[in-house]
Structure 1
Amino acid sequence: MKWKLDRAVDLHKESPYTFYLPSDYVLNQLKAGDLVKLIFMAEEPLDNGYEGERMWVEILERNGSEFRGKLMNKPHYLESLHYGDLIHFNLVHICDTQLDDPYAMDMDYYLEQKVTVSNDVLSRNEFNLMLRFEPYDDSDLGWVFFSGHEEDGFNADANNFQFISVGKMLNMDDSILAFINDTVPCAYERERETAKFVRIENYDWSIHE
C-alpha cells in the first residue's frame, strides 16, 4: 500500500482552533534525537475505512526545514511501512512533538471549553444568533448558538442541540472571540448588511424561563 505524508500546516489552516500545530517556538528547537509525529496517508482508500496513521519519527538529521528520520512505530494498516524505515519530511508535515509548547494552552482552551449549538447550525455551517446564560459547570462557557432559521418548536426538543468545543464554532467565525467572555446574560445577532455581530441591548430573556 503506497503512502504519502499529509501536510499538517494545511490541516491547521482548515481548522485552526481544533487542529493543533506546533508553534514556531517549538519547531525552531527541533534537532537530531527529538521525536516528531507525522500523518502517514494511504494513497488509496483502505478496506477498513482508515485513511492513514499518525506515528512518531526520530529525527536523525536536520537541514533547515528538511529532515531525515527513522520511523519509531510499527504501522497497523500501512503494510508498505515498517519500524525503522527512513523517512524524509519537511516542517509542514509535523503535527506534534514531545517538546513543551507554551502556546498549546490556547488550543487546550478551544478544545476543552464547551458551548451548546443547534443541529441546524451544524448542518448549515452558519450561526446568526448567540445567547449567553449562566454556565452549568467549569467547562461550559454558557453560550448557545442558533442559525436563526430554526422552525417553531425546535428549541423545545433537547435532542436538537449538541454540546461541543468552542473551537468548532471559532472555525466557522472567530470574530466572536472579541466578546466570548462578555457578561452573563448577553445576546448577539449578526447584522445582515455587515455580517458582523452586534449586541442586543433589550433582549427578552423571559421567553427562556
Structure 2
Amino acid sequence: MTWKFDNVVELHKESPYTFYLPSEHVIEQLKVGDLVKLIFLSDVTLENGYEGERMWVEIIERTELDFRGKLANQPFYLKSLQYGDIVNFKSIHICNTQLDDPHSKEMDYYFDNKVTVSNDVLLKNEFNFMLRFEPDNESDLGWVFFSGYEQDDFNSDPNNFQIISVGKMLNIDDSILEFLNDNIRCAYERDTDSKKLLKIEDYDFSIHD
C-alpha cells in the first residue's frame, strides 16, 4: 500500500471556513522537537472508508520550508508505515500543530455557531434568500437560508431543513460575513442582475408567526 501527503493548503482553499490551516506565524515558530499533524493519503480506499490517516510527526530537522520528521503514531490503517518511520515533508503538508494559534479561535466561531439551511441549498450549493429570526439557543445565529426555488409544501416540512455550521455557508458565499450580526428579524434577497444580497426593508415577518 503506497501513500503520499495531502496538500492542506489546497484543502483550505476549497473550504476556507471549515478546514483549519495553521497560520504562517505558527509555521515560522516550529522547531526541532515540536509535533505537527500530517495527512497521509493512501492509493486505495481504507477500511474505514476514508483515503488517509491524520497522524502526528515529531520534527527532527527543518529548513525554511522543508522538514524531516519521525512518525509519532502507530498507523491504524496504513500498514506500509510504522511508528518511528522517518518522513520528509513541507509546510504545505502541516494541518495542525500543538502551538497556540489565534487564527484557530476564528475557526472555532465558524464551527460552533449554527444556522438553518434548506436541503435544496445544499443540493444546489447556492442560496438566494436569507432570514434572521430570534435564535433558539446560544449557538444558533438565527439565520435561515433558502435557495429561492423551494415550494410552500417543501418549506412546511421541517425534515427539508438542516442545522449546520455557519462556516459551511461561508464556504458557499462569504459575502454574508458583513450581515451576520445584523438586527434580529431581517431579510436579504439576492439581486438577479448584480448577484449581490440586498436587504428587504419591508419584509412581512408576520407570515412566519
Counterpart in 2 of 1:90?
90
CA RMSD in angstroms comes to 0.8
Counterpart in 1 of 2:4?
4
Counterpart in 1 of 2:67?
67
Matches within 5 A, 1:1-209: 1-209=1-209
- In structure 2, C-alpha distance between the alignment counterparts of 1:4 and 1:31, rounded to whole Å: 23
Which amino acid letter does the alignment assign opposite residue 108 of structure 1?
A: D
Give the CA deviation at 1:47: 4.7
**TM-score when scaled to structure 2?**
0.98
- SS in structure 2 of the partner of residue 28 of structure 1: helix
**Runs of 5+ consecutive residues of structure 2 not aligned to the other structure:** none
Which amino acid letter does the alignment assign opposite residue 124 of structure 2?
A: R
- SS in structure 2 of the partner of residue 12 of structure 1: helix
- In structure 2, C-alpha distance between the alignment counterparts of 1:48 and 1:27, rounded to whole Å: 30
Give the CA deviation at 1:48: 4.3
**TM-score when scaled to structure 1?**
0.98
- In structure 1, C-alpha distance between the alignment counterparts of 2:150 and 2:185, rounded to whole Å: 21
1:51-75 CA-to-partner distances (Å, cap 9, x unmatched) read 1100000000001100000000000
How many aligned residue pairs are there?
209
- SS in structure 1 of the partner of residue 45 of structure 2: coil
Q: Which moved more, 1:57-66 or 1:47-56?
A: 47-56
- SS in structure 2 of the partner of residue 26 of structure 1: helix
Give the CA deviation at 1:49: 1.9
Give the CA deviation at 1:204: 1.0
Which amino acid letter does the alignment assign opposite residue 57 of structure 1?
A: V
